């Protein structure tokens, strides 16, 4: 939404993360004033705690602040610039609380092997940073991570989106991207996401070292490569998986700081971070909360807390979680009628078209349910025992996951058992949490189960790092074994990233100018006129207009408010035609709904959904439901009710005639 040059995103990125730390520092001081601080521990913890607490609290506060601003209809650039300046003022006032030099010293590697690991990690980090300067082309970015923030900024408010399923998820991460898009471009969003990714890695390094000094960089490398295998572009795309994982590792770190003398602040921090995770991704209750609860209860019992006191701490933890999740529950209830939309749609029925979208999504996800009795009957008719069928379904899901490169899934299962049996550093609650996460994976299904599971990677990487460190330390060839593991991990990362660069046709050179970005986007365009079509759109469509996109799927490039459906919903024109039993009355209904313009994509036949966007994909996935797209309205209706303004390849921009 900003008209600033692309290079401005780099200094803006620095200002944004300092702003987050400023708000985080303010909230930390308020909490410490009321709850007391954490007792002074080792020097490393004293340097790391302010940063981890600041980024956790700051990112969460800004997310909920932007949500409140959007709900009030005040999503203007000047307002969000005010949010930035205020955060920077708080940072300047509390900058002494962030000992950057001591933080760096606390994270530096120990010994030659860790220096080797550190160089490998730095190489991967720099590659991810380089990739942040690619233009926005990721499917999830175009579907909702960045599209919805742009649409909210165009409308200057957060509003109901019956057309987009993904517009009704918890949106803490997307609120941060809304903040960034008001200041800069999509590159700024990616840079912030990269910073959250780096913060997650710092949390993994710090927590792993806190439990077992030699495991830090090993855990870090295990996490870096695992994320790249399951979702190659994850650190370079603005998404919600990494922020959710960040809140998990921060929660674990603060739980590890609980002592009888100072338990209030860490326990409250854990509850806050769990609540922020719930507001970031729906999978948090499954993959974030159980390990945090197990570690919280285990830590309390280890420190000699009574069962009653531990239960009280757990109650505070859960109340804070529900309190911070409540804004998103309220938003969904007001917009869709279902506080947990699109889940539990039978318990909380929604009006049309929300009900149809939720039903179609359920059918889509059910296709990935290996425990579906009908699927099992078809695939495993020779198995008569229910347990054998359950195991067969689990085996299929495991094979699918391994094919995706999810090596932490199996490795953590084996090493969690080893850590539990041999009582290794970290304590039994940590290893039980690792096994419990795997148990949840056993029963949960979904089309993106590996991505869902990846939010637990920080925990699993720490577990694997600790167990491997203890195993290597017991061997004579300790250093050689560590180096071999590091070389294998680095080789895997290089292989993955090289293959990905080949697939997308990128040579690794950062695209730091608008011209380089546009040249990159040309490979996604079927025709140069598509680019000109979107570029000239603001000249033809005034601010405040409301466009109906027919055949348009991903409207990130549209600088006006637009209604276009996702892959699970029927086109609005097709829906109105069916409801009115013909085209008579459709134009009046569109006017009543506030539409002023139409963008028609495709030439009277369903086209790939990226066609109407400068970012063109080779195929539509997932495939649309039958009858979702019925082609353009008849020429007679278009001539009678619309005026052609502009064309571009198979795109038409039309203005609705006044009734």
Residue 195 has pLDDT above 50, yes or no: yes
What is the distance between the terminal CA atoms of the chain, rounded to a whole angstrom? 33
Q: What percent of the chain has pLDDT over 70?
A: 88
CA dist., res. 200 & res. 189, Å (int): 17
Is the N-terminal amide bond of 393 cis, ω within 30° of 0? no
Predicted pLDDT at 607: 37
pLDDT in tens, 568-618: 567 888 888 888 888 999 999 999 999 999 998 865 333 333 333 333 333
Domain ranges of the chain: 6-30+41-96+107-368+406-500, 525-656
- In the sheet that 561-563 helps form, which strands lie side by side, from edge to edge? 561-563, 546-550, 597-601, 651-656, 642-648
Look up tokens 């006017």; give the residue. 591
Predicted pLDDT at 369: 64
User: HSE-up of 66 (CA within 13 Å, CB side)?
Assistant: 28
297's CB contacts (< 8 A; 6+ apart) are 310, 314, 429
Average pLDDT over residues 378-385: 65
Residue 298 has pLDDT above 70, yes or no: yes
Average pLDDT over residues 548-557: 82
Predicted pLDDT at 606: 34
Confidence of residue 427 (pLDDT cuts 50, 70, 90): confident
Nearest to 617 by CA among 536, 553, 549, 568: 553
131's CB contacts (< 8 A; 6+ apart) are 190, 233, 235, 236
Residue positions counted in the chain: 659
Predicted pLDDT at 339: 94
CA dist., res. 420 & res. 430, Å (int): 9
Cβ distance 117 to 217 under 8 Å? yes
Q: What is the DSSP string of 507-542?
A: -S----SHHHHHHHHGGG-S-HHHHHHHHHHHHHS-
Strands 597-601 and 651-656: antiparallel
Predicted pLDDT at 481: 93
Q: What is the CA radius of gyration of the chain?
A: 26
Average pLDDT over residues 170-183: 96
Residue 4 has pLDDT above 80, yes or no: no
CA dist., res. 548 & res. 560, Å (int): 11
Confidence of residue 509 (pLDDT cuts 50, 70, 90): confident
Predicted pLDDT at 375: 59
Predicted pLDDT at 649: 74
Considering the entire predicted model, what is its pTM? 0.92
CA dist., res. 182 & res. 638, Å (int): 36
Nearest to 106 by CA among 253, 273, 223: 253
Predicted pLDDT at 6: 82
Compute φ and ψ for 561, nearest 5 degrees. -65, 130
Q: What percent of the chain has pLDDT over 90?
A: 53
Tokens coding 411: 């490795």
Average pLDDT over residues 135-157: 89
pLDDT in tens, 39-81: 766 778 888 999 999 999 999 999 999 999 999 999 999 999 9
Tokens coding 617: 């994909």
Nearest to 206 by CA among 10, 47, 374, 370: 47
Average pLDDT of every residue of the chain? 86
Confidence of residue 621 (pLDDT cuts 50, 70, 90): very low
SS3 assignment, position 212:
coil
Strands 651-656 and 546-550: unpaired
pLDDT in tens, 236-262: 788 899 999 999 999 999 999 999 988
């Amino acid at each position: 939404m900003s008209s600033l040059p692309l290079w401005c995103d780099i200094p803006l990125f620095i200002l944004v993360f300092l702003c987050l730390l400023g708000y985080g520092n303010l909230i930390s001081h308020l909490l410490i004033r009321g709850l007391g601080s954490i007792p002074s521990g080792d020097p490393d913890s004293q340097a790391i705690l302010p940063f981890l607490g600041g980024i956790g609290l700051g990112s969460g506060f800004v997310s909920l602040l932007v949500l409140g601003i959007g709900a009030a209809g005040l999503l203007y650039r000047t307002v969000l610039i005010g949010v930035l300046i205020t955060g920077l003022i708080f940072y300047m006032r509390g900058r002494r609380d962030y000992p950057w030099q001591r933080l760096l010293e606390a994270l530096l590697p120990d010994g030659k092997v860790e220096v080797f690991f550190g160089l490998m990690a730095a190489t991967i980090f720099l590659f991810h940073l380089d990739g942040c300067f690619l233009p926005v082309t990721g499917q999830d970015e175009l579907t909702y991570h960045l599209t919805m923030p742009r649409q909210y900024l165009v409308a200057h408010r957060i509003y109901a989106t019956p057309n987009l399923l993904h517009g009704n998820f918890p949106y803490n991460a997307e609120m941060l991207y809304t903040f960034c898009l008001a200041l800069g471009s999509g590159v700024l969003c990616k840079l912030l996401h990269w910073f959250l990714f780096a913060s997650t890695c710092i949390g993994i390094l710090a927590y792993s070292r806190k439990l077992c000094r030699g495991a830090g960089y090993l855990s870090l490398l295990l996490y870096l490569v695992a994320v790249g295998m399951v979702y190659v572009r994850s650190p370079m795309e603005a998404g919600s998986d990494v922020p959710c994982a960040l809140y998990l590792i921060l929660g674990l770190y603060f739980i590890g700081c609980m002592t009888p003398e100072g338990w209030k602040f860490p326990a409250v921090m854990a509850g806050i971070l769990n609540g922020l995770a719930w507001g970031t991704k729906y999978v948090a209750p499954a993959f974030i909360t159980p390990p945090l609860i197990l570690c919280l209860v285990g830590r309390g019992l280890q420190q000699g807390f009574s069962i009653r006191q531990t239960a009280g701490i757990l109650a505070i933890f859960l109340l804070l979680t529900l309190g911070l999740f409540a804004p998103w529950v309220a938003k969904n209830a007001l917009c869709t009628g279902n506080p947990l939309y699109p889940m539990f749609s039978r318990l909380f029925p929604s009006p049309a078209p929300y009900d149809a979208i939720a039903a179609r999504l359920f059918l889509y996800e059910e296709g990935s349910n290996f425990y579906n009795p009908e699927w099992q009957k078809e695939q495993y008719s020779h198995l008569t025992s229910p347990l054998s069928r359950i195991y067969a379904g689990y085996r299929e899901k495991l094979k699918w996951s391994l094919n995706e490169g999810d090596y932490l899934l199996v490795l953590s299962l084996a090493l969690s058992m080893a850590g539990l049996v041999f009582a290794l550093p970290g304590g039994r609650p940590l290893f039980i949490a690792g096994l419990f996460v795997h148990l949840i994976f056993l029963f949960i299904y979904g089309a993106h189960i590996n991505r869902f599971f990846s939010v637990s990677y920080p925990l699993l990487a720490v577990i694997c790092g600790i167990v491997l460190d203890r195993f290597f330390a017991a061997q004579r060839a300790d250093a050689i074994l560590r180096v071999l593991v590091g070389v294998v991990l680095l080789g895997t990362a290089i292989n993955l990233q090289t293959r990905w660069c080949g697939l997308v046709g990128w040579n690794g050179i950062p695209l730091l100018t608008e011209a380089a970005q546009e040249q990159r986007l040309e490979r996604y365009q079927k025709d140069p006129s598509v680019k000109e079509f979107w570029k000239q759109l603001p000249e033809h469509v005034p601010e405040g207009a409301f466009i109906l996109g027919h055949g348009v799927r991903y409207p990130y490039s549209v600088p006006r408010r637009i209604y276009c459906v996702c892959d699970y919903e029927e086109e609005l024109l097709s829906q109105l035609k069916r409801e009115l039993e013909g085209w008579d009355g459709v134009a009046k209904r569109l006017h009543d709904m506030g539409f002023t313009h139409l963008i028609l994509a495709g030439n009277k036949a369903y086209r790939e959904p990226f066609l109407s966007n400068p970012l063109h994909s080779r195929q539509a996935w997932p495939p649309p439901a039958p009858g979702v797209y019925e082609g353009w309205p008849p020429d007679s209706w278009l001539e009678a009710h619309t005026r052609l303004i502009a064309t571009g390849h198979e795109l038409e921009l039309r203005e609705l005639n006044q009734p």
